[in-house]
Amino acid sequence: MLFRRMPARAPLRADAVSPSPPGAMQPGRRGLLALACACCLGGGAISPAQAQAPDVAAHLAAARAAAGEDLKPWRALGQAATPTNAPRPSLQSLIDQPAPPPARAFDNLAFVGGKWVSAWALATSDGIILVDALNNDAEAAALIGGGLPKLGLDVAQVRRIVVTHGHGDHYGGWAWVKGRSGAPVAMSATDWAMLETAPEFDNPLWGRPPVREVVLADGDLVRLGEASVTVLSTPGHSPGTISLLFDVREGGRTHRALLWGGTSFNFNRRPDRMARIAAYIEGTRRAKQVAARENVTVMLSNHAGFDEADLKLARLGAAGGNPFVIGQAAVQRTLTVIEESALATQAAWRS
């Protein structure tokens, strides 16, 4: 196990989101929205002097160098190491942003998400594996139910609802999808347990949590038709976050994709935050090794503010190839940005 089960604790409100960082780490509005995972309750616990500690600065510089110009949105993760009291968007305002049009990023992978939180539909010969179910029934009906038919698909074809982690922006619309497809909901045992005992976040804008159906563990394969999705444990963002590895196809070409299941360091008011950030770092390092070994060239997120899915979808068909295929080196750099941002945050919390 890469993580230990979290003790029960009182749920927190999730209507606040992470503050923006100062100076060079300012991520801009897109980055702020990316980090504004409803489950992201950024800090205020670190003084500016502490935030300037040399080891923090060194890790942030390493994250910045790895990001370069092309991976800038991921740098927003550095916010957790350098919190400020900047205004925070409300969950309602995040949900209310106009959604990008549904589109196929690849022949077998459709984006049916919102501007803020994503849902991905992996189409197979035997139906659809849906990854995440958005905030609530209304959003699922509009974006998943409304989006799939525009791409020649239908919600009734969904056979599995895989939830990357037990936060409401990712499971909230499960009941609407299940009601029209009968598909079971799959999540890690740790996040099922978290939802059953003490959900670490809740918000009335989210659908109620699902009840335990399929339990996914590290190394499991979710098989449907010709597709096989490998489950990778990447805990930290939630106690039992999972990331997913699968093949995407375009014409005659196949690419290996990694969908990062939970990104922000949203646990910095929790007594176990050092264990969480350590587990996050360990999981990220292992994911880097797996991604190198499997030649992962596509890095996806469940928040478009990180992978810029909406912007890439708009660029599909333009010269230069599929913008989602960033190459193995860029995928490795993305994971380095995540790792170094986590190390900076760990160093800030230690100081």
Question: ∠ CA 203-89-316 to the nearest 5 degrees?
Answer: 100
**Looking at 23-31, 74-82, 87-95, 160-168, which segment touches Zn ion (CB under 5 A)?**
160-168
Task: Kindly state the smallest distance separating residue 276's Cβ from Zn ion, in Å.
Answer: 13
Residue whose CB is less far from Zn ion, 116 or 176: 116
**Cα–Cα distance measured from residue 34 to residue 77, given in angstroms and rounded to the nearest whole number:** 9
Number of residues that make up the chain: 351
Structure tokens at 93: 């305002």
Strand pairing class (127-131; 120-124)? antiparallel
Task: Kindly state the smallest distance separating residue 237's Cβ from Zn ion, in Å.
Answer: 5
**Looking at 29-37, 154-162, 319-327, 341-349, which segment touches Zn ion (CB under 5 A)?**
29-37
123 binds Zn ion (CB under 5 A): no
248 binds Zn ion (CB under 5 A): no
Task: Kindly state the smallest distance separating residue 15's Cβ from Zn ion, in Å.
Answer: 14
Contact 170, 117 (CB under 8 A): yes
Could you identify the residue written with the tokens 């609802």? 161
Task: Kindly state the smallest distance separating residue 7's Cβ from Zn ion, in Å.
Answer: 19
Residue whose CB is less far from Zn ion, 34 or 112: 34
Q: Which of residues 54-83 bind Zn ion (CB under 5 A)?
A: none
Q: Give the binding-site size for Zn ion (rule: CB under 5 A).
A: 3
Q: Which of residues 30-59 bind Zn ion (CB under 5 A)?
A: 37, 39
**Looking at 57-65, 135-143, 159-167, 203-211, which segment touches Zn ion (CB under 5 A)?**
159-167
Strand pairing class (127-131; 158-162)? parallel
227 binds Zn ion (CB under 5 A): no
Binding pattern for the stretch 171-210 against Zn ion, x by CB under 5 A and - elsewhere: ----------------------------------------
Q: Which residues pair with 301 in a beta bridge?
A: 260
Contacts of 210 (CB under 8 A, 6+ apart): 163, 171, 174, 175, 178, 185, 187, 195
* Residue 341, H or E segment: helix 328-350
- For Zn ion, the binding residue among 104, 115, 160, 167 (CB under 5 A) is 167
| Radius of gyration, alpha carbons of the chain | 18
**Looking at 105-113, 142-150, 165-173, 217-225, which segment touches Zn ion (CB under 5 A)?**
165-173
DSSP-assigned states of every residue in 279-331: HHHHHHHHHHHHHHHTTEEEEEESSHHHH-HHHHHHHTTSTTS-TTB--HHHH
Task: Kindly state the smallest distance separating residue 14's Cβ from Zn ion, in Å.
Answer: 9
Q: What is the contact surface with Zn ion in residues (CB under 5 A)?
A: 37, 39, 167
